[in-house]
Amino acid sequence: MKLRLIEKSDLDLFVQNLINDYQVDGVKRKEGSFLYGSIKSPEELCLDFDCTVIPPKKYFLPPEETLFQFTSSPALQVTPVMESNPFILFGVHPYDIKAINQMDRIFARGVPDPHYLKRREAALIIGVDPTKVAPRSFWADMGAATVSEGFDLMLTDIGESFIVEIGSNKGRSLLEQHAKPRPATRNEARERVGIRSRISHICKKRGFAFPKREIPTLLEHSWKKFFWEEQASKCLSCGTCNLVCPTCYCFDVQDNIDLDLVHGERVRRWDGCLLHDFAKVATGENFRETRASRYRHRFYRKGLYLFRLLDDMACVGCGRCASACLPDIADPVNLFNKLREDEK
């Protein structure tokens, strides 16, 4: 693997050159937290964040999007709405890239989702290794400290400079045309290894007390436990754990019609399995009416159903759910460790 290097003093120029040619989005500070947003000047871009409130999934599956517009009379006419303006996502942590890689598989299987895939194709992802660990993160234990694919460039802060790993041809030309890289020396490459292992070590303070490959079996034996009712008694059913999760992708689809009752659009918006009406159908029947059944479902999704599909947990250890849950019952580390304790 050939690594490049750009001096920190040259980073602003790199970012500015990208801004000149592309829509660039990256992490910005807001009220003491971090959010992805449009970057208009290099000073706005933050690369030493610990974790954003909302994951980058919003770029591929927006909170609300129009799928198509329709006219119902004289004859039904449907015009698909596809957004695919090229853009750069600058500053994505490996665990979020892992989540995007999972989403790419989910949205491409079966009937591929053109809305997601178009946006995904239009994106150039510049990853960055974390320099800080959010209090509830456990991505190192989830095998998401580094990723080998899913990025066009990957930056690592080694002090006075950034090591740049090239992940695609697009990334290579982006770097060559917009920055002044030089090949990284062997020592500099070794520094990257050291830095990555130090930050992973800090993150490993949180994690499962048992191998995560045992989670599906653990869940298979836990369906009827009172444990779920106990945990879920505090659940506000607010869906926050779903909405901030980089691997939760459920949505609701509705038609919005204009007052002329002829023109309208079909939209989809984020949904979440913790919400009361998530499994409610047209007859009024609700297949998961109790808090406990919805709460349990989320962990079965992450640790069993999607595990079978992805051969990995649908959790990358970002810890967003844990830090956003007001009654603090959403943390996968706490939950699976307790469940395991309970089994003994």
Q: Which residues bind another protein (CB under 8 A)?
A: 30-33, 35, 53-54, 58, 63-64, 233-240, 243-244, 254, 256-261, 269-270, 272, 275-277, 291, 324, 326-327
Rounded to a whole number of angstroms, the minimum distance from the CB of residue 324 to another protein is 7
Residue closer to another protein, measured from CB, 214 or 230: 230
Rounded to a whole number of angstroms, the minimum distance from the CB of residue 95 to another protein is 19
Residue closer to another protein, measured from CB, 183 or 327: 327
Rounded to a whole number of angstroms, the minimum distance from the CB of residue 55 to another protein is 11
Residue closer to another protein, measured from CB, 82 or 326: 326
Residue closer to another protein, measured from CB, 29 or 170: 29
Query: Which DSSP state fits 287?
Result: T
Rounded to a whole number of angstroms, the minimum distance from the CB of residue 3 to another protein is 34
At 51, phi and psi to the nearest 5? Answer: -165, 145
Q: Which residues contact 145 (CB under 8 A, 6 or more apart)?
A: 94, 95, 139, 196, 199, 200, 203
Nearest to 196 by CA among 126, 133, 146, 144: 146
CA distances from 30 to 27, 66, 136, 218 (A): 10, 28, 20, 40
Residue closer to another protein, measured from CB, 52 or 146: 52
Residue closer to another protein, measured from CB, 174 or 248: 248
Token pair for 218: 């653990």
Residue closer to another protein, measured from CB, 18 or 324: 324
Element (H, E) at 21: helix 11-21
Residue closer to another protein, measured from CB, 125 or 245: 245
Residue closer to another protein, measured from CB, 40 or 198: 40
Rounded to a whole number of angstroms, the minimum distance from the CB of residue 79 to another protein is 20
Burial of 23: CB neighbours in 10 Å, binned 0-12, 13-18, 19+: middle
Rounded to a whole number of angstroms, the minimum distance from the CB of residue 135 to another protein is 13
Asked whether 286 and 217 are in contact (CB, 8 A), the reply is no
Rounded to a whole number of angstroms, the minimum distance from the CB of residue 1 to another protein is 36
Nearest to 88 by CA among 162, 36, 166, 52: 36
Burial of 253: CB neighbours in 10 Å, binned 0-12, 13-18, 19+: exposed
Rounded to a whole number of angstroms, the minimum distance from the CB of residue 328 to another protein is 9
Euclidean distance between the first and the last CA atom of the chain, given in angstroms as a whole number: 46
Starting at the edge strand that comes first in sequence, how are the strands of the sheet with 33-38 ordered?
33-38, 23-30, 87-92, 123-128, 153-157, 161-166, 3-7, 182-183
Rounded to a whole number of angstroms, the minimum distance from the CB of residue 112 to another protein is 25
Residues 7, 160: Cα–Cα separation, whole Å: 6
3 state SS for 162-189: EEEEECCHHHHHHHHHHCCCEECCHHHH
Asked whether 205 and 136 are in contact (CB, 8 A), the reply is no
